[in-house]
């Protein structure tokens, strides 16, 4: 058996897969922010009541967590120091010297994770080609390390100029720290990110050092708790790039798992895209705190080399801390079931980005929440059953939600109660649709061609409204959609991405030298995977980042699975020009090209996932009907009867029109009166929308 566990901002999701029978079991419980491993243990014990001896039967636990990103956002990491080359103490604050809001004189920038007093310099200098200009002054370096130790730092980041070409000085500092202060955690940039661009490399190395003690402690605690329950299998952690890795690697490079939780839905979406031959899919995962989306084209999601975390202005690029690690190309929207609704300073309705989270949560949870949220509005609109939330495990307080909407939204805005409730639901859909249209367009997609795949506790509730605003013709909702993203854990490859910067001109480059560099990267990747217990054959995927000489940004070129020495320079140049022209409309054949970064992905074979099929025959829609419930229609702008179905009693080939509400324990699917629903052999709901949605 394999267990997928996804810790979100509000709920922790569990999916248990029996590889022999294909049977899937799910569970959902509230996240425990104080110690996320509490919720993990709670969920496993709950599943163990249904599967006696479960911990001993699990061969793998695959885990995604928001621990790292939350520690950075909430500034709850370790007390960290930075050692850098003399003259580069202020790189973290200088950044790219770009104002994200050039006309806002009050624009704020994020505080560096390491304050200036704990950023110290050492005397050394390495040239851009790796030659040593000034050797490391070891006595002075030892004094600097001691100075940080006297400040009681728990972690030290080391980032020296041009160390990606020659790491000897960083390695010497690592040895000094380890020998004299073995209790201090160490992160050196050559191991975390051996790549050009001083600010990004420093910021990423500092972020790794900042969360390394916390992540290591959490993963050890989680491993011990699992072992104490009788689990003797292997624990894997989801990477932000869409692969899974060992606990040891995650503890060494925690910055690699900064977006590990949200990535699972995208991996599941990729699998469904290939399974159903849907070349244009928009993966939509809406939970209690945020909504994450991703465009999947031809079965693959994009990977971006950098992203930001802890933005001062949440959706303003350039206002956060830059982290340069491979990450699935996600669109984050501050829209979840717990997004708070209130009157803005301009006197208009505002929903989010602040969230009620898991504690205290929406008003209707009855856990002390006082701010009205999207979930409160969905309940009052009739979309949720107050007595069947989480399968009846959590009763919702409808009257308290009504009072909160009236007092905090309707009265301050001077609108009637119904306008306020529908406004909250419709505005969050409008916000998500606007962001999604931009995201899709920027990646060359068309919203009117995509199939929207809905995940998360709130995703299926809002998928219909979002699809109408996008003009999407179709929605699919997998079984157990409320925890459906965790299925992605079972289809994610065990992989590790490596990169090394080394500038070389395409014309006249020593291809033998480049082949040696690739082989060194592949050896590093193989060691990482073998250390995680891998015994299967490892495959390697190569690519190179190239650019015009003098240009500031690169273009990634995938490489064929042959030695670099077998490649033709003219063909590489043709591939570069073709890719550049496709991306930017034209190219410049007269300008020489240079290689900048060399990339390798080391991966193991993907374990197959056989989705269980529904039982055929002996069922009717009458058996699946739970009755009718008045719910709000955005088309008629009034409450109308919606037929309520029990999803667990639906059968392959079942078809019915909207308006309909399909309920399962972890989520609810809402379908308007202009759409139609069919059920396939796997239990997926296929919702077809009319074409004239403009």
**Residues in the chain, total:** 694
**pLDDT band for position 90 (cuts 50, 70, 90):** very high
- Sign of the Cα torsion 72, 75, 79, 83 reads positive
Q: Label the pairing between strands 60-64 and 234-238.
A: parallel
Is residue 401 predicted with pLDDT exceeding 50? yes
Is residue 576 predicted with pLDDT exceeding 60? yes
Distance of alpha carbon 481 from alpha carbon 687, whole angstroms:
14
Distance of alpha carbon 334 from alpha carbon 429, whole angstroms:
12
Q: What is the pLDDT of residue 694?
A: 47
Q: What is the pLDDT of residue 216?
A: 92
Q: Label the pairing between strands 495-505 and 539-548.
A: unpaired
Distance of alpha carbon 349 from alpha carbon 75, whole angstroms:
30
Q: What is the pLDDT of residue 457?
A: 84
Is residue 588 predicted with pLDDT exceeding 80? yes
- C-alpha closest to that of 202 among 134, 114, 135, 118: 114
pLDDT digits (tens, 9 = 90+) for 546-563: 999 989 889 999 999 999
Radius of gyration in angstroms for the set of CA atoms belonging to the chain, rounded to a whole number = 26
How much is the average pLDDT of 504-532? 92
Q: How far apart are the first and last CA of the chain?
A: 47
Burial status of residue 104 (CB atoms within 10 A of its CB: 0-12, 13-18, 19 or more): exposed
Burial status of residue 39 (CB atoms within 10 A of its CB: 0-12, 13-18, 19 or more): buried
**pLDDT band for position 262 (cuts 50, 70, 90):** confident
Q: What is the pLDDT of residue 125?
A: 96
Q: What is the pLDDT of residue 334?
A: 67
Residues near 445 by Cβ (< 8 Å), separated by ≥ 6?
A: 280, 282, 295, 297
Distance of alpha carbon 96 from alpha carbon 110, whole angstroms:
13
Is residue 584 predicted with pLDDT exceeding 50? yes
Q: What is the pLDDT of residue 684?
A: 93
Residue percentage of the chain with pLDDT more than 70: 97
Is residue 510 predicted with pLDDT exceeding 90? yes
Mean pLDDT, rounded, of the chain: 89
Place of tokens 């070129």: 557
Q: What is the pLDDT of residue 314?
A: 59
Q: What is the pLDDT of residue 110?
A: 86
386, 364 contact by CB (below 8 A) = yes
Q: What is the pLDDT of residue 303?
A: 81
Is residue 573 predicted with pLDDT exceeding 60? yes
Residues near 105 by Cβ (< 8 Å), separated by ≥ 6?
A: none
How much is the average pLDDT of 301-319? 77
Is residue 166 predicted with pLDDT exceeding 90? yes
How much is the average pLDDT of 295-313? 82
pTM comes to 0.81
Local structure of 345: helix, strand or coil: coil
Residue percentage of the chain with pLDDT more than 90: 57
pLDDT digits (tens, 9 = 90+) for 36-88: 888 899 999 999 999 999 999 998 898 888 778 878 877 889 999 999 999 99
Q: What is the pLDDT of residue 31?
A: 81
How much is the average pLDDT of 479-492? 79
How much is the average pLDDT of 465-473? 94
Peptide bond into 595 cis (omega under 30): no
pLDDT digits (tens, 9 = 90+) for 213-248: 999 999 999 999 999 999 998 898 888 887 788 888
- Sign of the Cα torsion 88, 91, 94, 97 reads positive
- Which domains occur in the chain, in start order? 2-72+223-237 (3.30.420.40), 75-215 (no CATH), 339-425 (no CATH), 495-603 (3.30.1490)
How much is the average pLDDT of 477-494? 81
Structure tokens at 15: 């999916």
Is residue 528 predicted with pLDDT exceeding 80? yes
Q: What is the pLDDT of residue 224?
A: 92
Q: Label the pairing between strands 331-333 and 291-297.
A: antiparallel
Q: What is the pLDDT of residue 360?
A: 83
Structure tokens at 575: 């591939």
Residues 436, 471, 671, 290: what is their CA dihedral angle, to the nearest 10 degrees? 0
- SS percent in the chain: helix, strand, coil, step 5: 35, 25, 40
Query: HSE (CB half, 13 Å, CA atoms) of 439?
Result: 26
pLDDT digits (tens, 9 = 90+) for 91-147: 999 988 888 888 888 888 889 999 999 999 999 999 999 999 999 999 999 999 999
Is residue 516 predicted with pLDDT exceeding 90? yes
């Amino acid at each position: 058996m394999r267990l997928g566990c996804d810790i979100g901002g509000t709920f922790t999701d569990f999916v248990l897969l029996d590889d022999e029978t294909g049977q899937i079991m799910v569970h959902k419980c509230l996240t425990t922010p104080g110690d996320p491993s509490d919720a993990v243990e709670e969920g496993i014990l709950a599943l163990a009541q249904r599967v006696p001896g479960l911990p001993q039967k699990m061969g793998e636990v695959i885990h995604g967590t928001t621990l790292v990103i939350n520690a950075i956002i909430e500034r709850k990491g370790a007390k960290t120091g930075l050692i850098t080359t003399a003259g580069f103490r202020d790189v973290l604050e200088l950044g790219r010297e770009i104002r994200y809001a050039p006309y806002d004189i009050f624009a704020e920038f994020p505080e560096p994770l390491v304050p200036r007093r704990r950023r110290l310099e050492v005397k050394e200098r390495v040239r851009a080609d790796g030659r040593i200009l000034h050797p490391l002054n070891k006595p002075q370096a030892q004094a600097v390390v001691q100075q940080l130790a006297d400040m009681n730092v728990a972690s030290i980041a080391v980032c020296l100029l041009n160390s990606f070409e020659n790491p000897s000085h960083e390695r010497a500092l690592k040895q000094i720290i380890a020998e004299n202060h073995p209790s201090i955690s160490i992160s050196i940039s050559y191991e975390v990110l051996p790549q050009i661009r001083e600010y990004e490399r420093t910021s990423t190395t500092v972020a790794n050092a900042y969360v390394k003690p916390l992540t290591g402690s959490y993963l050890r605690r989680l491993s011990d708790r699992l072992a104490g329950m009788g689990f003797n299998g292997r624990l894997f952690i989801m990477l932000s790039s869409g692969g899974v890795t060992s606990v040891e690697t995650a503890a060494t490079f925690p910055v690699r798992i900064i977006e590990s939780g949200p990535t699972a839905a995208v991996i599941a979406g990729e699998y469904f895209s290939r399974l159903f031959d849907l070349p244009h899919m928009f993966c939509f995962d809406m939970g209690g705190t945020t909504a994450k989306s991703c465009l999947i084209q031809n079965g693959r999601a994009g990977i971006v080399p950098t992203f930001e975390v802890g933005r001062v202005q949440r959706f303003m690029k350039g206002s956060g801390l830059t982290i340069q690690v491979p990450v699935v190309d996600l669109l984050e929207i501050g829209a979840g079931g717990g997004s708070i609704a209130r009157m803005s300073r301009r006197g208009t309705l505002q929903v989010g980005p602040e969230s009620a989270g898991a504690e205290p949560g929406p008003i209707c949870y009855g856990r002390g929440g006082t701010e009205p949220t999207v979930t409160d509005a969905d309940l009052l609109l009739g979309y949720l059953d107050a007595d069947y939330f989480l399968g009846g495990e959590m009763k919702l307080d409808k009257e308290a939600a009504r009072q909160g909407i009236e007092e905090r939204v309707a009265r301050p805005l001077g609108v009637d109660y119904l306008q306020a409730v529908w406004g909250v639901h419709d505005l969050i859909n409008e916000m998500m649709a606007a962001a999604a249209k931009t995201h899709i367009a920027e990646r060359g997609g068309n919203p009117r061609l995509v199939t929207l795949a809905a995940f998360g506790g709130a995703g299926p509730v809002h998928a219909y409204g979002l699809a109408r605003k996008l003009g999407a013709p179709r929605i699919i909702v997998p079984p157990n959609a409320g925890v459906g993203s965790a299925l992605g854990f079972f289809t994610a490859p065990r992989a590790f991405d490596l990169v090394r910067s080394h500038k070389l001109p395409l014309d006249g480059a020593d291809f033998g030298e480049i082949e040696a560099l690739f082989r060194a990267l592949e050896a590093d990747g193989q060691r990482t995977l073998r250390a995680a217990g891998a015994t299967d054959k490892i495959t390697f995927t190569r690519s190179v980042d190239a650019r015009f000489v003098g240009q500031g940004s690169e273009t990634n070129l995938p490489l064929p699975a042959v030695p670099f020495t077998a490649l033709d320079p003219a063909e590489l140049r043709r591939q570069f020009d073709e890719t550049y022209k496709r991306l930017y409309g034209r190219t410049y054949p007269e300008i020489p090209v240079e290689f900048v970064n060399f990339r390798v992905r080391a991966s193991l074979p993907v374990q197959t996932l056989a989705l269980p099929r529904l039982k055929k025959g002996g069922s009717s829609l009458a058996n699946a009907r739970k009755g009718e419930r008045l719910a709000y229609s955005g088309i008629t702008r009034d409450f109308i009867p919606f037929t309520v179905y029990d999803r667990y009693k639906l059968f392959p080939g079942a078809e019915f029109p909207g308006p309909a509400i399909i309920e399962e324990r972890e989520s609810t699917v809402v379908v308007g009166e202009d759409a139609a629903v069919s059920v396939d052999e796997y239990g997926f709901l296929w919702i077809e929308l009319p074409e004239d949605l403009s």
